Structure 1
Amino acid sequence: MALTKRSLVLGATAVAVTAVTVTNAGLHLSRGQAFFQESPKELIDEVWQLIDRTYVDATFNQTDWVAIREDYLGRSYGDRESAYEAIREMLEELNDPYTRFMDPGEFRDMQIDTSGELTGVGITITQDEESKDIVVVSPIEGTPASDAGIMSQDVIIRIDGESTEGMDTSDAVGLIRGTVGSSVVLTIRRGDEEIDFELERARIEIHPVRYSLENSPAGSIGFIRLTQFSANADDEMEEAIEALEEEGVQGFILDLRSNPGGLLDESISIARMWLDEGLIVSTVNRQGVSDTQSANGTALTDLPLVVLVDGGSASASEILSGALQDNDRAILVGTQTFGKGLVQSVRGLGDGSGIAITVAKYLTPDGRDINQEGISPNIVIELSEEERETLSMNQDQIGTLSDPQYVEALDALVGIIAQDGALPTAVTLP
């Protein structure tokens, strides 16, 4: 995969979407592989140096990073796998599930994941920082996992009968991936219930945007559902907005529920389609604010906007929804978002492996730190377990009058339109 933009990728550690930034460092594979064979310690030290220079926390999460280097470089390594294992152990000292090493196969998979075409079952996963459970951030709409009824916040306790206790996300990804047409059984814990899902792996071409024209008491409404910030998301979003504008809609509902994130550039580009002016996001590394992104006067519409979010709306979704909320461009309806506010950089290493390093966090225009807190909607409406399961198993009902959160968003949008596009005075934006 060739990432043609700035290549920041935002999302929970995932089967389908990985949280990384890809650079060209160390991709001269033939020379690097030969060098690695001569001195595997050089690879370990290269990883240590990258962490030392770029990790977001200058205290390295209260570890003695210099002592760790001395420890691991003082050992002997007989082969590539032992060096890989040492790197993974070294990174565990940071207690950061998003900073991780990828062997060459895992690194290739990560690059495929952001290209808009996937092979797998179509779920995004993360590791809970406290319990260490493997948790589903969200299923990707229209994939085997989604069609089978796997839901956000499900806990994966076994993969083909193998317990996930003590397993990291990379190992889980390796077990879930496989040949197209083969099957994998995921055992899910949902509340007090354990459920087995047998899923057939598939090649999945993602079209992240779907849209429709809906009727309302205020006239025609444009409904746009964005499921992922993949490489084609901004083109498809532009097409959707322009097509609905031509139909004479009175306002828009943008659905970011169960959207686990994706490419940062896509979220900024899409934010600029809705915002004509204002700050979109600030990126903060350990030296302070390193980058800001703002609207640039290229908005495609100024019609009223309501955004749907939930606990599966992560990372790039939180950048977009936070920017629209802080700039008083939209009100948010649904439930608290996931709370993933860290930026990873992925560096290719000399032997074809790679490392993802947490290098920064991002803030909304009002300076809110998204990480762990998430974005709070203006109008909170929870779905019951029964309603969640019904929508999960009947996805054609999403964005219809059978979808309680959509109905609430529609009511809010009708109210805004009735006030000539002004946000309701009863709504207080944080």
Structure 2
Amino acid sequence: MGVLTGALVMAFVGLIIVGMSAGIYLFGRRVISRQPQPGAPSITEEPAKRVDFEQVTSKMEMIQQIIDQVFLYDEDAQNVEDFIYRGMMAGLDDPYSVYYSEEDYKLMQESTSGTYSGIGAMISQNRTTGLCTVVKVFDGSPALEAGMRPGDVVYKVEDTLVAGESLDVIVSNYVKGEEGTPVQITVYRADEDAYVDLTLTRKKIEVPTVESRMLDETTGYVAVSEFDLITVDQFKTAIDDLTAEGMKQLVIDLRNNPGGILDSAVAMVDYLIPDDMMDFKKGEGKSLIVYTADRNGEGETYTASDGHAVDLPIAILVNGDSASASEVFTGAMKDYGRAVVVGTTSYGKGIVQNLIPLGDGSAIKLTTAHYYTPSGFDLHEKGIVPDVEVPLDEALRTQAVIRPEDDNQLKKAVEVLNNGQ
């Protein structure tokens, strides 16, 4: 079971603890994740070999007989059954295709409720090592009060070793809990080569997905922490309010943004660009934002249609933890020359996943399509390379809260706008 659990590496987005991607519903909400291979998918000429379930069933019955005869402990039949399904999904060798038990599915759906009891930290899971690392600590959160820092690797929760567990399991089953209850989290702090025990008190926190302010008399700033259902209206309101305050140029901060709902990213790009830019033929006379292609080369095309545009110089800040829907947003703005990208190369994800309920309370999340920026760019395992590359200063990388006046990447973005680049 430990091997199977370790193999189930996927990403999970919530408002309090978030990872590299978001859970989605089959009807209209999608998450972008990584793709298995570059280029547009083509129709498979020969059908793939299917699992021989008769053989599998026979072998499982044999194993069960052995368990019944010699296994030392009591068997939890439901747990064994769940791990059979999890193992089947793990066998696809796609870290973002996952089985959810009925309990897991219920917990996962809570992530989009907007408010729940957690610790107030953003966590990313490395797709290669499976380790979960804190990438952001929210101001005023239990995580900040307890001394959690960006770069901390989540090692244990209470007495349970969680290193290598999937992020959704860590968040739903261990970190989240009843408001006011304590939770002890042990993190590994690489710069000190030490394990640090942190005691946090869970609390109900509503973290806005969009924060905005004027940096100076002409420069507006909008930070988007993730793309959720509520993000679109928050983003539009922020843009409108800053415009009313005299904004002449804009910095959009997508650093550490793990992505989220595709439709939200599309709607936000739509709010910024005109509807009738015909730079790319696939848009068929409209401004193409993103398009997808499944295993048969078929997919959906998303174009601008809201009749609204923002004609201002824009800089977008990204880093290595800007992923999925963040890259959809950035890729479209960059392809049209509507924004200059500043920071470091983004994460590089390009897969659409659907969450498919199985009718008995359980569900699977399955990679179903690949996505492309308007120019057809495939960013998988490449990411979006910034127009102006500037790493965050080393001294700031483990700092929980960075003041704007100390943020060298933000200052560079403003400088680029001031110089008309």
**Which interval holds the TM-score relative to the shorter structure?**
0.7 to 0.9
Contact 2:11/2:167 (8 A) holds in 1: no
5+ unaligned residues in a row in structure 2: which ranges? 1-9, 28-40, 65-75, 278-286
Distance 1:73 1:233 in 2: 50
1:180: which partner in 2? 179
The residue identity in structure 2 corresponding to 1:116 is G
Measured against aligned partners, the alpha-carbon deviations of 1:237-283 in whole angstroms (never above 9, x if no partner) come to: 11111111122221111111121212111111101111114321111
Of the three residues 289, 313, 319, the one matched with 2:322 is 313
Task: Indicate whether 1:359 and 2:362 are aligned.
Answer: no
Task: Indicate whether 1:250 and 2:235 are aligned.
Answer: no
Distance 1:282 1:105 in 2: 34
Measured against aligned partners, the alpha-carbon deviations of 1:94-131 in whole angstroms (never above 9, x if no partner) come to: 12221111122221222221232233223444543332
1:371: which partner in 2? 380
2:209: which partner in 1? 208
Identity across the alignment (%): 32
Aligned pairs for 1:18-417 within 5 A: 19-23=22-26, 65-67=50-52, 70-71=55-56, 75-76=60-61, 79-136=77-134, 138-139=136-137, 143-145=141-143, 148=146, 150=148, 154-173=152-171, 174-192=173-191, 193-194=193-194, 195-215=196-216, 219-276=217-274, 277=277, 278-296=287-305, 298-390=307-399, 392=400, 394-395=401-402, 397=403, 400-416=404-420
Contact 1:284/1:362 (8 A) holds in 2: yes
How many angstroms does 1:63 deviate by? 8.9
Higher mean C-alpha displacement, 141-150 vs 280-289: 141-150
The residue identity in structure 2 corresponding to 1:406 is L
Measured against aligned partners, the alpha-carbon deviations of 1:268-319 in whole angstroms (never above 9, x if no partner) come to: 1101111114321111211114011122262341111001111221211111
Contact 1:63/1:93 (8 A) holds in 2: no
Distance 2:139 2:265 in 1: 19
How many angstroms does 1:363 deviate by? 1.6
The SS at the match of 1:206 is coil
The SS at the match of 2:86 is helix
Backbone CA RMSD of aligned residues:
3.0
The residue identity in structure 2 corresponding to 1:71 is V
How many angstroms does 1:404 deviate by? 0.8
Contact 2:123/2:133 (8 A) holds in 1: yes
Distance 2:180 2:154 in 1: 21
The SS at the match of 1:288 is coil
Distance 2:379 2:54 in 1: 32
Distance 2:293 2:79 in 1: 35
5+ unaligned residues in a row in structure 1: which ranges? 1-10, 25-55, 417-423, 425-430
Q: CA, structure 1 residues 348+151, in 2 after alignment: closer, same or farther (shift >3 Å)?
A: farther
The residue identity in structure 2 corresponding to 1:303 is L
The SS at the match of 1:229 is coil
